[in-house]
Amino acid sequence: MPDLGEGITSGEIKKWDIKKGEHVEEDQTIAEVETDKAVVELPAPVTGTIEDLRFPEGAKIQVGDVIVTIREEGAPQKTAPVPEARKPEVTPPVKVPVLATPSTRMLAKQLNIDIEKLQGTGSGGRITDEDVKKAAAKPAAAPAKAEVPRPAPEDLEQRIPLRGIRKTISENMMRSVSRTAQVTLVDDADLTRLVELRESINQKLAGKAKVSYLAFFVKAVVTALKAHPMVNVSVDDEKGEIIVKKYYNIGIAVDTDRGLIVPVLKNADRKSIIDISKELVELIETTRSGKIGLDQLRGSTFTIANIGSIGGLFSTPVVNYPDSAILEMQQIRETPRAVNGIVVARKVMYLPLTIDHRIIDGAEGQRFLNDVKMYLEEPELLLAGMA
Task: Please indicate whether residue 23 is annotated as part of the active site.
Answer: no
The whole-angstrom separation of Cα 159 and Cα 169 is: 18
List b or e across 343-354, with b for residues whose CB sees 16 or more CB atoms inside 10 angstroms: eeebbbbbbbbb
CB 365 within 8 A of CB 238: no
344: which strand partners? Answer: 337
Alpha helices (H) in the chain, listed in sequence order? 102-110, 129-137, 153-156, 164-179, 192-205, 213-227, 273-288, 362-377
* Active-site residue (options: 105, 357, 358, 367): 357
The angle at the Cα of 249, spanning 198 to 232, to the nearest 5 degrees, equals 100
HSE at residue 362, side-chain half, CA atoms within 13 A, is: 7
Beta carbons within 8 Å of 172's beta carbon, 6+ residues apart:
320, 321
DSSP 8-state assignment for residue 127: B
Q: Any idea how long the chain is? A: 387
Where in the sequence numbering do the catalytic residues fall?
357
